[in-house]
Every structure is written in structure tokens, then in C-alpha cells.
């Protein structure tokens, strides 16, 4: 598959087909090609001998997609940065990535960034003045060159830039289109922020099949009335989200086949799909296929998939995450480094062309989890699981990294920032489960000196500081105050004891 050529084909075959819709804004495939060509031409003229990654800042504006394609046509990887990411984190991404340029689809509120900022108005001027110019196709990202870099949570308090190459993305997109039986011209839900790699699951499968991306933003999600009004207008056929988002939608009685009569496929990734959520979806959307998938950002969105039928629901209380895509392999490694037999639990290791080339500018971190097996790239996921008859079953994290509402995070990173707060002496973050999946984060805090008379005022002050350092989804929902943190005999935090105390 020639990814960019496949997307451009629709600008010729169906130029007036809508490629992307967000509220009242939309772009056609013709506009997508013209504007991304103009942008790529401008980037190549401004940075002729440079291939550094380019930050793309915004939320769900159509310009985001134009900017992504403009970057890669000019030979630069893009780094998606959502509006919700705090200034401190944006600053660290800018510094660690070596980016020289930031393309903005929205107002940039972060000051003193070490990059050149191209505003929304600047972009409109570029689209106009460079219209009709086409970039040199030889300059476009190809092979093992980086296509995008997504920053994920890092245990040192610094986010890690996962490098996904052109070949990685082609491998994923080809598999998704074929295995999920995606058709030409379908409408895809685009709900995940672009800085979350779940968004890749709908962006490129939609664009290569001439589909329409229907974007739902965070303000709509916060106002259910607006959310369901938008869904009702959408005629979505391919739904991509975390199970949590679908579970929230299921609370609305009208969320069913009558609201979305042409729904064909549900694609779930990012966290555990509970059996009861899948069952309710089958009841509400009897003609749609429910696909459960699994994969870390480091292996390009997802590498396994299974069609969850009523038979599968009856057979497995905890659902399997699927069969591995044909060009990759799964190995289950025991602690002694040997491969576990069928049915035995161990660490999930992914081998094949979906695997990232590593973390940008972090050779030591890369060396810890990326390796070569039989001449192919391999990634040690840190996830526990087992394989039975070719089916992968996921059993949670081996370390302190978790997925909460689809967002992956390192508990140590949150603890690192908590301990840096003015009124905190010590802190441990405990993820609290509801059923099979994590429901919220609890911060157990040893407070420092403060003059607050009430605990809730202390909590508000700590949360205010955290808001400047972490995205909202990483901030603990509940706080508990103690005089000390339990320790194990070897001087480590006794997390098991702490968990039993807080859940007793």
C-alpha cells in the first residue's frame, strides 16, 4: 500500500467527498490535497535541508489533518499536541523533540517555546499563497523514516516520544482495512484526541478508503445533549473509541440502532472491553460487528483483533483481545527469559513490522524495552498475558503503568509531580478498580506544612498545582491523608499493603 498516494487518489476520484467534519467546519478530499500540498511546499522552501519533527497543536480542527499530511509530504514527522496538554508538558515535548516549527490550528497559550510558531492566520495565508504548488514526492516520508511521534507518560516525569515509521503505519492500516472489513466511503467516528494513538485507528483507515471522519470534541462529550445531537446527525458506520466512552453512551436509552441505523463496526482499543458492555452493544446494535483489539502505542495502535459474538461472550467471562495480525508474532516470555507454553502467563512481547524504532532521543530507555528477535524489531510490552489456541488474553500491567479510561499513564510520573507540590511531603498513587478495569486514581498523601483548616481546601491547592503540570486525566480523583506511607522490609513502598488498607 502506498499510503499518501492512496489518500490522494480520492482527490481525483471523489474530490467533493467530505474527508473531515467538525461541528460546522468541513473539508473535502480536494481541499485536503490542495492545502496539504501548499503547506508541504512552504515547509520545504523554509526548511530545505531539515527533517526535524514538527509539532501540530490544536484539538479537532480540520487544519490538524491538513497539517499532518503537509508535514509528511515535506519529509517531516509530526507530533500531535492536544489543547488539553498543560504548558509545562508542551514545553518539555518541544525541548526533547528537537522540533523547530509548531503549526497551530488554535491559539497557542504556551509562552517561551523554543520553536517557531505558525498561527492559524499564518496557515490560511500559506494555503492561499502556495495554492497550486505541489511538493516534490521524493521528499515525502517513506520506509523506516518517522511518520508521527506520539508522546506517552514517562516514569521520570518526562514524556517519552514513541517514533512510528511510515512502514509501521502502512502495516497497521492495511491490516485494519482488511481484517475489519472496512468499505469505501464509510463515516468514521473520530473521538480520541490526536495526541492519543487511538485516533490513528480511525484517521488513516478512513482516509485510505475515501471515508469521512466525524469529529466529536471534548466540549461535546462534557454536554451529553450536544454529543447525542451530533451522533444523530452523523450516520456513523465505523465506531472507534475506548470501551469507557461506549459505556457512557449506553447510559442514554436512545443510543441504539434507531440513532445510528447504518452502524456496521465497533472498534475497541485502549483498555479492557467488559463482557457486559459488549453484550449491551450487541442488543442495541444487532447488525454491527464488535471488534476487540489490543496493542501499545509502541506497536502502532493495535496488533490483535477478535470479532466478539454472543458465542464468544458466553464462552469467556473476561474477553480475549484477539488473534495476532499476520505479519507480526506474539511471544509470551517467562521471568527466566524462556518462552511460555500455551496457557501459561508471562510478559507479552510483540515482534514484527508494527514495532516502533524506539523513543526519540532516549537510547537508554529504548534499549530497555526494544530488541531484535530473528532479525525483526521486538517490543517488551510490560503487559502480562497468555495465549491459548492462538488467542491472546490480557492480564494487566507487570509494573506500575496502567490504562485509565483508555489513557496510558505511569503512576510514578504522577507521584513525581505530586511530591513536587508545595504542601506534599510524600505521596503514592493507587489505581482503584471497578470490576475488571480501573475506575479512578486515589492519591495517598503525607502532607507537608500548611495552614488549611479543612482537608478539601488542601486538596484543592494540590490539584491546582497538578493542573499546571499534568493533563486532567492524570490527576487523582480522590485524596487521602496519612502520617506515613507503609514500606516493605527492603525499603520500598508497600503498595500491596496500601491497596488493602484503602480498599478495606
Q: What is the pLDDT of residues 352-378, one digit of tens each?
A: 999 999 999 999 999 999 999 999 999
The CA distance from 452 to 450, in Å, is: 6
CA 164, 304, 327, 194: dihedral to nearest 10 degrees?
-20
- Apex 482 CA angle, 479 and 483, nearest 5: 150
Does 121 show up as a binding residue in the annotation? no
Least confident of 147-156, 175-184, 226-235, 296-305: 147-156
Packing angle of the helix pair 62-73, 29-46 (nearest 10 deg): 50
pLDDT band at 314 (very low <50, low <70, confident <90, very high): very high
Arithmetic mean of pLDDT, 379-391: 96
User: Residue 351: pLDDT above 60?
Assistant: yes
Provide Rg for the chain, Cα atoms.
Answer: 23
Are residues 83 and 57 in contact, defined by beta-carbon separation less than 8 angstroms?
yes
Residue pLDDT, tens place only, 259-312: 999 999 999 998 889 999 999 999 999 999 999 999 999 999 999 999 999 999
Give φ, ψ of 342 to 5 degrees: -50, 135
Does 212 show up as a binding residue in the annotation? no
Q: Please state whether 91 falls in left (phi above 0), alpha (psi between -120 and 50) or beta.
A: alpha
Does 148 show up as a binding residue in the annotation? no
Query: What is the structure's pLDDT at 37?
Result: 99
Does 295 show up as a binding residue in the annotation? yes
Query: What is the structure's pLDDT at 490?
Result: 55
What percentage of residues in the chain have a pLDDT greater than 70? 99
Query: What is the structure's pLDDT at 328?
Result: 99
CA 489 from centroid of its chain's CA atoms: 38
Count CB-CB contacts under 10 A for residue 128.
10
Query: What is the structure's pLDDT at 106?
Result: 86
Query: What is the structure's pLDDT at 488?
Result: 61
Does 394 show up as a binding residue in the annotation? yes
User: Residue 487: pLDDT above 80?
Assistant: no
Residue 78, helix vs strand vs coil: strand
Query: What is the structure's pLDDT at 158?
Result: 85
The CA distance from 145 to 76, in Å, is: 9
Least confident of 276-280, 379-383, 434-438, 471-475: 434-438
Arithmetic mean of pLDDT, 65-93: 96
Does 435 show up as a binding residue in the annotation? no
Query: What is the structure's pLDDT at 398?
Result: 86
Query: What is the structure's pLDDT at 214?
Result: 99
Are residues 372 and 378 in contact, defined by beta-carbon separation less than 8 angstroms?
yes
Query: What is the structure's pLDDT at 492?
Result: 65
User: Residue 491: pLDDT above 70?
Assistant: no
Are residues 193 and 82 in contact, defined by beta-carbon separation less than 8 angstroms?
yes
**Domains in the chain, start-ordered, CATH in brackets?**
1-9+21-141 (3.40.50.980), 323-397 (2.30.38.10), 401-502 (3.30.300.30)
Residue pLDDT, tens place only, 164-196: 999 999 999 999 999 999 999 999 999 999 999
Q: How far, in Å, are 306, 324, 331, 352 from residue 338 at the CA level?
A: 27, 20, 10, 19
Average pLDDT of the chain is 95
Does 309 show up as a binding residue in the annotation? no
User: Residue 504: pLDDT above 90?
Assistant: no
For 243-268, b/e burial (b = at least 16 CB within 10 A) is: bbbbbbbbeeeebbeebbeebbbbbb
pLDDT band at 503 (very low <50, low <70, confident <90, very high): confident
What percentage of residues in the chain have a pLDDT greater than 90? 85
Residue pLDDT, tens place only, 451-481: 999 999 999 999 999 999 999 999 999 999 9
Does 171 show up as a binding residue in the annotation? no
Does 292 show up as a binding residue in the annotation? yes
Are residues 448 and 64 in contact, defined by beta-carbon separation less than 8 angstroms?
no
pLDDT band at 436 (very low <50, low <70, confident <90, very high): confident
Least confident of 69-83, 180-194, 328-342, 394-408: 394-408
pLDDT band at 410 (very low <50, low <70, confident <90, very high): confident
Does 451 show up as a binding residue in the annotation? no
Does 358 show up as a binding residue in the annotation? no
Specify the DSSP class assigned to residue 490: T
Does 397 show up as a binding residue in the annotation? yes
The CA distance from 112 to 302, in Å, is: 36
Q: Which helix (H) or strand (E) holds 267?
A: strand 265-268
Query: What is the structure's pLDDT at 489?
Result: 58
Are residues 204 and 11 in contact, defined by beta-carbon separation less than 8 angstroms?
no
The CA distance from 242 to 273, in Å, is: 8
Least confident of 226-240, 400-414, 419-433, 481-495: 481-495
Least confident of 109-113, 325-329, 357-361: 109-113
pTM higher than 0.75:
yes
Amino acid at each position: 500500500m502506498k499510503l499518501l498516494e492512496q489518500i490522494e487518489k480520492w482527490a481525483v476520484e471523489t474530490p467533493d467527498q467530505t474527508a473531515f467534519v467538525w461541528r460546522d467546519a468541513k473539508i473535502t478530499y480536494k481541499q485536503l490535497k490542495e492545502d496539504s500540498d501548499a503547506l508541504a511546499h512552504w515547509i520545504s522552501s523554509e526548511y530545505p535541508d531539515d527533517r526535524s519533527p514538527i509539532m501540530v497543536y490544536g484539538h479537532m480542527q480540520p487544519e490538524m489533518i491538513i497539517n499532518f499530511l503537509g508535514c509528511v509530504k515535506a519529509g517531516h514527522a509530526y507530533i500531535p499536541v492536544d489543547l488539553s496538554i498543560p504548558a509545562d508538558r508542551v514545553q518539555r515535548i518541544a525541548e526533547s523533540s528537537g522540533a523547530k516549527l509548531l503549526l497551530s490550528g488554535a491559539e497557542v497559550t504556551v509562552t517561551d517555546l523554543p520553536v517557531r510558531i505558525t498561527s492559524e492566520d499564518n496557515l490560511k495565508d500559506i494555503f492561499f499563497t502556495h495554492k497550486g504548488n505541489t511538493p516534490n514526492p521524493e521528499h515525502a516520508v517513506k520506509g523506516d523514516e518517522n511518520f508521527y511521534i506520539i508522546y506517552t507518560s514517562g516514569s521520570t516525569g518526562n514524556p517519552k516520544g514513541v517514533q512510528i515509521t511510515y512502514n509501521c503505519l502502512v502495516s497497521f492500516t492495511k491490516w485494519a482495512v482488511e481484517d475489519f472489513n472496512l468499505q469505501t466511503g464509510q463515516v468514521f467516528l473520530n473521538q480520541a484526541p490526536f495526541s492519543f494513538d487511538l485516533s490513528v485507528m480511525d484517521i488513516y483507515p478512513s482516509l485510505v478508503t475515501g471515508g469521512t471522519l466525524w469529529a466529536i470534541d471534548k466540549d461535546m462529550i462534557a454536554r451529553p445533549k450536544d454529543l447525542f445531537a451530533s451522533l444523530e446527525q452523523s450516520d456513523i458506520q465505523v465506531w472507534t473509541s475506548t470501551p469507557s466512552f461506549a459505556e457512557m453512551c449506553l447510559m442514554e436509552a436512545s443510543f441504539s440502532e434507531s440513532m445510528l441505523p447504518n452502524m456496521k463496526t465497533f472498534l475497541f482499543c485502549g483498555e479492557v472491553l467488559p463482557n457486559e458492555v459488549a453484550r449491551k452493544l450487541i442488543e442495541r446494535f444487532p447488525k454491527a460487528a464488535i471488534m476487540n483489539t489490543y496493542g501499545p502505542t509502541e506497536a502502532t495502535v493495535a496488533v490483535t483483533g477478535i470479532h466478539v459474538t454472543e458465542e464468544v461472550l458466553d464462552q469467556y467471562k473476561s474477553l480475549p483481545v484477539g488473534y495476532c495480525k499476520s505479519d507480526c508474532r506474539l511471544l509470551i516470555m517467562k521471568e527466566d527469559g524462556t518462552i511460555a507454553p500455551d496457557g501459561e502467563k508471562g510478559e507479552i512481547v510483540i515482534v514484527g513490522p508494527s514495532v516502533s524504532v524506539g523513543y526519540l532521543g532516549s537510547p537508554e530507555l529504548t534499549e530497555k524495552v526494544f530488541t531484535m528477535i530473528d532479525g525483526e524489531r521486538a517490543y517488551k510490552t510490560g503487559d502480562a498475558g497468555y495465549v491459548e489456541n492462538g488467542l491472546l488474553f490480557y492480564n494487566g500491567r507487570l509494573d506500575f503503568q496502567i490504562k485509565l479510561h483508555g489513557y496510558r499513564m505511569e503512576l510514578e510520573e504522577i507521584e513525581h509531580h505530586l511530591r513536587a507540590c508545595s504542601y506534599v511531603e510524600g505521596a503514592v498513587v493507587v489505581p482503584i478498580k471497578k470490576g475488571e478495569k480501573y475506575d479512578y486514581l486515589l492519591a495517598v498523601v503525607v502532607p507537608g506544612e500548611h495552614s488549611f483548616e479543612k482537608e478539601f481546601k488542601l486538596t484543592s491547592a494540590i490539584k491546582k498545582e497538578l493542573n499546571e503540570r499534568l493533563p486532567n486525566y492524570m490527576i487523582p480523583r480522590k485524596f487521602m491523608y496519612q502520617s506515613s506511607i507503609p514500606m516493605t522490609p527492603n525499603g520500598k513502598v508497600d503498595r500491596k499493603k496500601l491497596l488493602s488498607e484503602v480498599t478495606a
